[in-house]
Every structure is written in C-alpha cells, then in structure tokens.
Amino acid sequence: MPSQGLSCDRIRAFCLVGLALLMAAGSGCRAGGRGAGFGAFYTPADRINDLLDGNLMQNASRVYDANPGYFTKSDAETMAACERLVRALMLEIEPQAEAALEDLDRAAWPAGPAAWPEMRNALARARAVLEEAAQHRVLAAQELRPAVLERLAAQDRNLRFQITADAPEMLADYPLLSAEKSFFEVYPVKIDAAKAFGDDALNFWRKRLKDAVSPEILHAFDLYGGSLPAAVQEAMGEAYYLSIMRSERERGAMSLAAALAAAKTVRKTGMPLAAAPGARVVFVNVTSRTLLRKGLLDFPVSIDNDTPFETSRGSMRRLFAGNATLDADFYVLVDTASTRSERTIYKKQTRLSEFLSGVQTVENRRYIEERDRVLRLRQKYDSAGDHALFASDPFVQLFGAVSQSRLDDDLEKAEERLKNTPMYVEKEVYSEYAYPVFDLEVVKLATVNYYVVDVRAKRYFKDVFDVRESQSFSVAYGVNPKDPHRRDILAGKETEEDVTDFEDAPVHVPLSAILEQFASQPGKGKPLASLASLADQIFADRNRAVELAKKTRVFTGDEGSDERFKAVVYVSLPRSLGSGFYVRDDVVMTNYHVVEESDFVEIRLYDGAETFGKVIAKDIQHDLALIKVQARRKPLKFYSGNSLPLGATAEVIGNPEGFKFSISRGVISAVRRDTPPMAMQSGKNLYIQTDAAINPGNSGGPLFLGDAVIGVVDFVIRESEGLNFAIHYSDALAFMKKSGIEPMLAKEEDVHVKK
C-alpha cells in the first residue's frame, strides 16, 4: 500500500506539471494572437502569416524588424513566412523599381546640359524606390533580396559614380558666365563646389573672366560667389572693375573720379576689391616744415589708404624738381594747414579720501592682556601656597600643594609669553586730503589742404578737408600714492596720460574720403600749366597757413586796459595756492615750492575760465617750474637788458592770501646774490630785492618793470618789513632755454621805467 500511495503522488505531480505547461502554451497562443508576445506554440512566423492574411503588410514587416534573432533560422516554416512577406511587399514596390530602371536606361550618359534635368529626375526616382525598400529589413536580407532591387541599386550606384567622375570635364565646358542657373544647381548629382574647381580655381576663373563684360561677371558672382575662395572672389572684383573702366575709356571718361566710381560700384555688389589695376596714386606730404619744427601743429594728420588703388609715397623735392617725370596716374598732395586740440571741463568734483601720513608708537594692547594674565596667575599661585602651608586639614594642604604645582606651569608659560610680547607697537596714522575729479572733453580739429593732380587729363583740383574728433574723459588728479583706496578711486577712470595720448595721437583720414570729396565736384578742376605753377600755389598756401598759425598763437591786438592781468594765473592745489604767468601761449611759469612733486595742477584764468596743466619741468635750485596748460593766452615778455635801474617802480600781480589778481607796487631795492631759503637748495642764487607788498599766494607770480617781467616772486623775510625777493629774470630765461622753450623778450627801449 505505501508504494501505491507514493505512485499516486508522483502521478499527481506529473499531472500538475503538464497542466501548467498546457496553460503556458495556451497563454502564448493568445498573446501571439494579440501581437503582444510569442511562445512555443505561436512564433513570429505565425504572426506574420496571420497579418498577411489580413492584408497588413506593413505590420508584418515590423514583426520581422522587431525579431531579428528569430529570423536568422533557416527552417522551412520561417523561410516560407519571409518569402510570403517579400512577395507581398514587392507587389507595390516592383512596378516602381521596373519603371525607375527604364528611366535610367532612357537617360543616357554622358549627356549635355539639356539632358541633365531628365537624368536628375531619373536618379531621384531610383533613389526614392531604393529608400522605400530600405524601410523593410526583410528586403535587404541577402537570401531574400529581390533581383529587380539588386539591378536598380547597381545601376544607380554606377551611374552616379560616372557622373561624379565626369563633373570637372562637364564644369569646364559649362557656360558659367551666361547660363541662367548655376552648374551645381542643374548638374544631375550633388557636387562640392569648393572641390569642383580644383586646386587651381584662381586660374580656372581668370581665364573665363579675361574678356567678360560687366553683366556676365555680376551674374557669375551672384551664382557662385558664396562658394568660391577669397582669392577667386577678389579676381571677380578686379575683373568687374576693369570691365567698367574699359567702358569708361571707350567713352573718354577715364579719370580718377571714374576710377573711384567704378571701385564704389564693385563694392556695392559685395565683391571684394583688393586692388584696382590701372590707377596708380602717389601720395606726397607737402606740410610746411616750419609748422612741424616750431610746434605749431598740436598733432599729426595721417592719410590712410583704404582705396583699392596702388599707392606709394613720393617726395615733394623730387616731384617739383626741374626734370621730374610723372610716372603715376594721379598725385595726391596733402598740406596740413592746422591742427589744434582743445580741452573743455564740463564738470569738476572735489572728493575726500585719506592717505598714510606716518606711524605712531602706542602701547601694545596684547602686552597689557598678557601682563594682567601673569598678575592673576601669581595671585592664584600665592593663594594656593598659603593653603598648602597654613591649613590644618591635611587634605586641604594636599589640595593646595597640587594646585600650586599646576599653577606654577601655567605661570611659567604666561611669563614666557609676556617676555616675547613687545610693550609698544607702531600704529599707522591716516590723514584726510582732497583730490579733484574732472569730467572733460577733448576736441581735435584739423584743416587739410589737398591737391589732386590728374596726370592724363593734365588737370588739378584743390580743396580743403576738415577733420573733427572728440572723446570724453573722467580723470582723478592728485590721488596720493599712499592712499589705501587709490586702486578703487582710479578704477574706471582715465589718467592724464590717456588724455595726452589721445591729444598727441595722429588723426587718421581715409584717402577715400578725400578722393570722394574731389570726385563730387567735377567742375572745380583747373588746367595744369606746369608743376612749377602748382608748386608756387602750394608754397603760397603753406605760407598763409604759417602766418595764420603764428597770429593765432601770438594773440596780437588790444584785449583790455592792462594786458598783463590776462597773462597771470591762479595756481591751485588741494593744500596750497600760488601764482604763475604765461611765458608761451600754452606754458605757465611758477615756483617749484608751489607745485613741489605734483604732476598736475588746477589753473584759473583772469577771465574766470578754469583749466589744468601738467608740470613739465622743475628747477629746485632756482625754485622754478613750468606747466603745460590747455587754455592758450597771450604770453608776457621778459626784460632783456643787462642791468636794472635801482629805485625804479616795480609791480607785482598775483593772488596774495587767495585774493585773486591783485597788484602791488614798490621799487627795485637791490640786486643781490644770496643763499636760497629752502633747505633742499645749495649754493647762491641771483635775486631782486623789492619792497612791493608780497604775501603767501604771490609765489610764482611776475615782478614787472613796466610791461616786462624782471623776476619771479619767491619769498619774504617775515621778521622784517619790505624785504621781499624775486628770482632774477636771467635765471628764469636760462631755465626756459634748458627746458627747450624759447622765451619772448621785450626790447629794452620799449620798457617804460617809472621812477
């Protein structure tokens, strides 16, 4: 019986397993029927057959694509399903493939441009059929691929290869300049334009552009310009320019104006024009050397060639030589008549900051803390010792001894720290100061006379070209080098060097601007009798420019009842003031001790105008300084005699105690050589002693004999009355000459001496 029971159990187990397998198989069949999965009893091949029964070819193709591993089998059932799928798909594709093959057979190659559209369309249809077939992976299987698709792919591939290989030859024969459409637009296959012309693209195009007319070149540029190398585009621009100039030459209109117009036309099309053949221009600078040498020009003018014409620089001397040969088409002669820079201060702000003015010795706070710590530890140490010696309780004695031992270590360390801590330290001391910030505009003005000589037409043209440049600046002056905020103050602001760099930099005038101004006035040209006559006119214009510059800078004429006041200035610094006076139209003289080590100072003029200047020269020994200023005024003249009349009236104009532009009178008391009062000076200087009232603020101002300056006010002896001294004019004149500045002298007979 037990064996029969065991047998029943086994039978029951086998039945359960079989039932499970049947359920799994049944489940697979149902899932496969819905397209959601496959099992042992329902395969992808079964699914394809079911879908084909329902005429769902696309869905059947997707089943094949989704199960690549399964369809690697070569059993009869699987192959039969695949072949059935291929036949179903080819019912639609095969007629299209046959038609595409017929189109390729009809479109024979090689062929001329007229047949290219048909070939292009045939290739496009073949490619469309092949791309549609490629969407079905089953049609690409080697053992299943239909023969018609094989033939179509091979013919398409071979034909495209042949057409591509023939492209250079076809391109060479194509009417690039006259065809309505681009070669690359109509050629049957796509060609890389950059590669199609080969490595010798420049010569390829030059041959075709050689005799081309303007419309052809423009048409070719529109079709091909964007795909051509820069050198070929420039060749097109050059050819287009030459074509225009040939037409102008045929009409008898060959001139610089015509060349300019042609170059402008070329550039309007977008063609680059690096060089314009047949229009050689020689540029000659005929600016007066007097203007250059004597500093009557504030900045140079640079004529920059931005034209496509071949230009070179010529010599005025060689041009006007008796046997000069005019070997250029055009000459452009430029005469800079005047250049002037002007500063205008439109805003001034005074700002406060601080600078490191010194150090101060102060008690070290850390030393005090360490000293107090030592005192507290000593008190604790002594208290613990008392407990250890005098307590009656042995436990308290023991606790005191232990505490004293621990405190002994702490006290030793504290005393060592105190020993290494300085009792005094140096503390930085900062002082307040003021510095000015100027918002200003610099305007640069230039006037250029120019002459254009047309050698072929034997005519010349003369006109004036005005240039204006301006730039705004915000400059902080006198920021102390020891100001801890210096970097932040100067951040975002320009420096005086930036301003002077802009003022001194040349103004750049494009040659095209001059030539276009010339071309816009065709009727103003005059016959060129000879180079000599042109030279005479240029020299006459230059002489007028020199005279005008001198008059502008010398300031002749009556400007008031006492011209001397207008030449005296108020020199202002954040912590001092003084006087000064014009010794040239843009240079002021003052004392060294007024400006000291300042680089820039504020200047106020008699008429209320404000400007500022840069200190350009210093003489500590003679206590003199020179300041370059922007506002120009009529300068004073120095006395030129060898001796001074003692007792003659002497006058001082200056700013005593800040009372601006005051005059005081006295006499010339003596001329004496004495030791300078400033500690930094050594040796003896020549001074003029006077009793004319002098006070702080007069320093640096002029001492007059009549209208002539005989001294620079320097110092007074305060413990006495009427002992005032000025630096002798001979030292002032020597300082100016040493600094490269020519002084203006009054004739001795013109100085009216008052007794």
Residue (of 618, 601, 632, 589) closest to 729 by Cα position:
589
Average pLDDT over residues 445-454: 86
pLDDT tens track for 341-370: 888 888 888 899 999 989 989 888 999 998
Q: Who's near 376: CB < 8 A, 6+ residues apart? A: none
Considering only 195-209, 491-505, 515-529, which range has the smallest mean pLDDT? Answer: 515-529
pLDDT tens track for 151-191: 999 999 999 999 999 998 999 899 999 999 999 999 999 98
- The per-residue pLDDT for 545 is 63
| Dist. CA 474–CA 489, nearest whole Å | 11
Both ends of the chain: CA-CA distance in Å? 168
Mean pLDDT for all residues in the chain: 83
- The per-residue pLDDT for 548 is 64
Quickly state the pLDDT bin for 95 (edges 50, 70, 90): very high
pLDDT tens track for 541-574: 766 765 665 555 544 434 446 889 999 999 988 7
- The per-residue pLDDT for 521 is 75
Provide, rounded to the nearest whole percent, the portion of the chain with pLDDT above 70. Answer: 86
| Dist. CA 557–CA 605, nearest whole Å | 19
Whether the predicted pLDDT of 385 surpasses 50 = yes
Average pLDDT over residues 45-60: 92
Helix (H) or strand (E) holding 582: strand 576-584
| Dist. CA 470–CA 502, nearest whole Å | 9
The owner of tokens 């029964």 is 53
pLDDT tens track for 411-432: 888 889 989 999 999 889 999 9
User: CB burial class (10 A; 0-12, 13-18, 19+) of residue 449?
Assistant: buried
Is there a contact between 655 and 697 (Cβ–Cβ < 8 Å)? yes
Is there a contact between 716 and 661 (Cβ–Cβ < 8 Å)? no
- The per-residue pLDDT for 333 is 86
Q: Which two tokens stand for residue 81?
A: 């399903």
Whether the predicted pLDDT of 298 surpasses 50 = yes
**3-state SS string for 705-742:** ECCEEEEEEEEECCCCCCCEEEEEHHHHHHHHHHCCCC
Residue (of 662, 636, 653, 646) closest to 583 by Cα position:
636
- The per-residue pLDDT for 542 is 66
pLDDT tens track for 640-699: 888 899 999 999 999 998 888 999 999 999 999 988 876 455 678 899 999 999 999 999
| Dist. CA 629–CA 503, nearest whole Å | 13
| Dist. CA 641–CA 20, nearest whole Å | 138
Residue (of 614, 558, 624) closest to 593 by Cα position:
624
Is there a contact between 44 and 64 (Cβ–Cβ < 8 Å)? yes
- The per-residue pLDDT for 312 is 81
- The per-residue pLDDT for 23 is 43
Q: Return the ∠ at Cα 698 (arms to 694 and 699), rounded to 5°.
A: 110
Average pLDDT over residues 280-292: 77
Query: Phi-psi bin for 492: left (phi > 0), alpha (psi -120 to 50), beta?
Result: left
Q: Which two tokens stand for residue 187?
A: 């050629």
Beta strands at 309-314 and 276-285: parallel, antiparallel or unpaired: parallel
Q: Which two tokens stand for residue 569?
A: 């200035």
Q: Which two tokens stand for residue 324?
A: 């000069």
Q: Return the ∠ at Cα 638 (arms to 634 and 640), rounded to 5°.
A: 145
- The per-residue pLDDT for 8 is 42
| Dist. CA 496–CA 590, nearest whole Å | 21
CA distances in angstroms from 179 to 113, 118, 174, 271, 339, listed in the order given: 10, 18, 8, 20, 56
pLDDT tens track for 684-715: 889 999 999 999 999 999 999 999 999 999 99
Residues linked to residue 451 through DSSP beta bridges, in sequence order: 333, 462
Average pLDDT over residues 404-412: 81
- The per-residue pLDDT for 27 is 38
CA distances in angstroms from 251 to 242, 244, 245, 255, listed in the order given: 14, 11, 10, 11
Query: Phi-psi bin for 495: left (phi > 0), alpha (psi -120 to 50), beta?
Result: beta
Give the other-Cβ count within 10 Å of 614's Cβ: 18
Is there a contact between 468 and 448 (Cβ–Cβ < 8 Å)? no
